[in-house]
Amino acid sequence: MSDRLYIFDTTLRDGEQVPGCQLNTVEKIEVARALEELGVDVIEAGFPISSPGDFNSVVEISKAVTWPTICALTRAVEKDIDVAAEALKFAKKGRIHTGIGTSFYHIHHKLNSNQDEIIERAIAAVKYAKRYVEDVEFYAEDAGRTENEYLARVVEAVIKAGATVVNIPDTTGYTMPHEFGAKIKYLIDNVPNVHKAILSTHCHNDLGMATANTIAGIMNGARQAEVTINGIGERAGNTSLEEVVMILKSRYAILNIDTNINTKNIYKTSRMVSNMMNMPVQPNKAIVGRNAFAHSSGIHQDGVLKNRENYEIMDPADVGINESSIVLTARSGRAALRHRLEIMGFELDKEKLDEVYEQFLKLADKKKDVKDDDVAALLGDATQKERRIKLDFLQVVTGKGLVPIANVRLDISGEILDATASGNGPVDAALKAVKKIIHRKVVLEEFLIQAITHGSDDLGKVHMQVNHEGGNYHGFGANTDIITASVEAFLDAINKIPGGVRAKKE
């Protein structure tokens, strides 16, 4: 039987402490609901005494979220605990997270205290919190730099006082994996009542070892991991939720530990947090970075196209990404170019592929990466390819105070059909008008606009990806009028749907 690891997400508390990443209450509720859908067990919603905004966020998240435990942070101070308890009054399952520093640095330089007094204050805080809630978590701040013998005394004392979870934070990100794992093992082996509580990890990434330390802690008996989406947090950040979860999933045969996380929601949750907190995810970030499933080396591309597992230890679909990305560069081989051409709707024989590949290499030497419309240009401009559906006429009326209205006329195999639609913007209106004519369920999944030239008369190019019955189709358009370019790109994608489309008159 496998063990169960509880996922404690502190994106809305520790993660939000990053300068410039503050969210309002409505945004926090949206993130909390996404975390609930993701399957996290505990949501640390805030530090209620720190500000009226944080207090209100804990209150409203407690109302909005159904099954996860809602946790509020405090210091080992009665007033903090009183305020946290008040903020949690609507929580279906509430937890107070209280604690105090236990390292030499914190005891002597921050708290001006001594070891015995710290234990007394820790016991008092836990007992006081137990007056309000049954579920009390205690954190031994800077446990990473606390002597194991003294830390064991603290842990034993707070469990005896009623703590249900004891958090062992590597607050400064100082420990190494073998040290942190040994610290958890020491507590498991030397705290007599340790079986009455769950040991938790809370590792920071100052030396880039937060995830490694967390896994070391789990392997030695910790059964709660405190993490954030994308690893955001103080200074260099916290342990990344997605990394811990996918390590356990990928190495399940060895670790034999389950979580409640629905991994297929990882990518969309990552993107939500990144966008709302204005914190871009670095391209090479494990699991959720733009390049996490991207391949540019010809050897790698050929291997992935033959069998994904040649170079990927995870299926992108497991984290909510549709497919691996084959990026065309000067290092790409014929297999990658052929794959990209097939996605774009072109099938070339070997002789033609060799000819295009030679041209491709010359272009790739001049550019960092080669886009789909560059490839289309190598083939003699994809827009010249015979299309069943063509744009015959487009007129859009828009402006300040006006609802955008578009009139579109299409030539479908010689039959002229038109439709009119309104939308949130001129492009939205135009695409809705096209959809009125094209009798297909087509979902727009990606829409990118890029200027080719510079100035107010830019030639803009548009890339679109649409989904139809589970298949993805790419379209491209270029025009000085970005609305026309958008419609052309949409039609280019639709033209690539096998079997064509059915048209209907408005």
Q: Are 361 and 375 in contact (CB under 8 A)?
A: no
By the 10 Å C-beta count (0-12 exposed, 13-18 middle, 19+ buried), 234 is classed as: middle
Which 8-state DSSP code applies to residue 145?
A: G
**Which among 125, 101, 123 has a CA at the least distance from the CA of 113?**
101
Would you state the pLDDT for residue 384?
Answer: 43
Closest CA to 10 of 222, 242, 238: 238
Q: What is the pLDDT of residue 11?
A: 97
pLDDT at 441: 83
Q: Amino acid identity, residue 145?
A: R
pLDDT of residue 455: 52
Q: Judge contact between 490 and 466, C-beta under 8 A.
A: yes
Give the separation between CA 50 and CA 216, rounded to whole angstroms: 33
Closest CA to 295 of 335, 327, 336, 264: 327
pLDDT of 476 reads 81
CA angle 280, 284, 290 (to 5 degrees): 65
Exposure b/e, 391-409, CB count within 10 A at least 16 = b: beebebebeeeeebbbbbb
Residues 6+ apart with CB under 8 A from 176: 209, 213
Among residues 356, 137, 433, 88, which one has the least CA distance to residue 364? 356
pLDDT of residue 209: 98
Which residues lie below 8 Å from residue 407, measured CB to CB, with a gap of 6+?
393, 394, 395, 396, 418, 419, 420, 433
Stated as kind and residue range, the H or E segment containing 220 is none
CA dist 393 and 253 (Å) reads 60
Is 14 marked within a binding site?
yes
Same topology between domain 3-277 and domain 389-496: no
Q: What is the residue extent of each domain of the chain?
A: 3-277, 294-379, 389-496
- Give residue 301's pLDDT: 64
**What fold does the segment set 389-496 form as a domain?**
Double Stranded RNA Binding Domain (3.30.160)
Low-confidence spans in the chain with pLDDT less than 50: 1, 381-385, 453, 457, 506
The pLDDT tens digits for 16-69 are 888 878 899 999 999 999 999 999 999 999 999 999 999 999 999 999 999 999
Q: According to DSSP H, which parts of 77-208 are helical?
A: 78-87, 104, 115-130, 148-161, 177-190
238 marked ligand binding residue: yes
CATH of 3-277, one of 3.40.830.10, 3.20.20.70, 3.40.720.10, 3.40.50.1110: 3.20.20.70
Contact 453, 444 (CB under 8 A): no
